[in-house]
Each structure stands twice: as structure tokens, then as C-alpha cells.
Structure 1
Amino acid sequence: MSGSMMPHLKEIILNGEINGHSILAKTRLGFAVFQH
């Protein structure tokens, strides 16, 4: 059971990292636009 849970857990972590990076990129873009 724990063996089948591992890939799912990695997927959640990976998705979280991707979402976090996209949010970070958007806020950086927003700050750049705001400064201009």
C-alpha cells in the first residue's frame, strides 16, 4: 500500500513546486509591471 502511495505523493509535491514557481513568476512579473 505504501508503495502505491509514493508516486502519488511525489506527484503532489511536484505539482506544488510547479504551482509555487508559476505563482512566484507571476508576482515577479506583477512587480515589474507595477514599477513601470
Structure 2
Amino acid sequence: MDNPAPGTADPTTVLGMAVLTVRLHVDLLRVTSAACR
């Protein structure tokens, strides 16, 4: 497969990475909040 032009990215890949990042941060917040209790 050819790589997309420089400066462009697959929207689905970007969205997937964003979702994973948000989920990771949410999990970290839950863990920290539970630990602070």
C-alpha cells in the first residue's frame, strides 16, 4: 500500500487514536480519583 501524501492522515486512524487516548485518560482519572478516596 502507498503511504498518503505528507501532512495527511486517515481520518479513521486519527479518530481511533483520539478515542483510545480519551479512554486512557478517563481510566487514569478513575484510578486516581479512587485512590484519593
TM-score bracket, normalised by the shorter chain, equals 0.7 to 0.9
**Post-superposition, which runs of at least 4 consecutive aligned residues in structure 1 deviate over 3 A?**
none
Q: CA RMSD in A?
A: 1.5
TM-score, L = length of structure 2: 0.74
TM-score, L = length of structure 1: 0.76
Q: Which runs of 5+ in 1 are unaligned?
A: none
- Higher fraction of helix: 1
Give the total of aligned pairs. Answer: 30
Identity of aligned residues (%): 7
Q: Which runs of 5+ in 2 are unaligned?
A: none
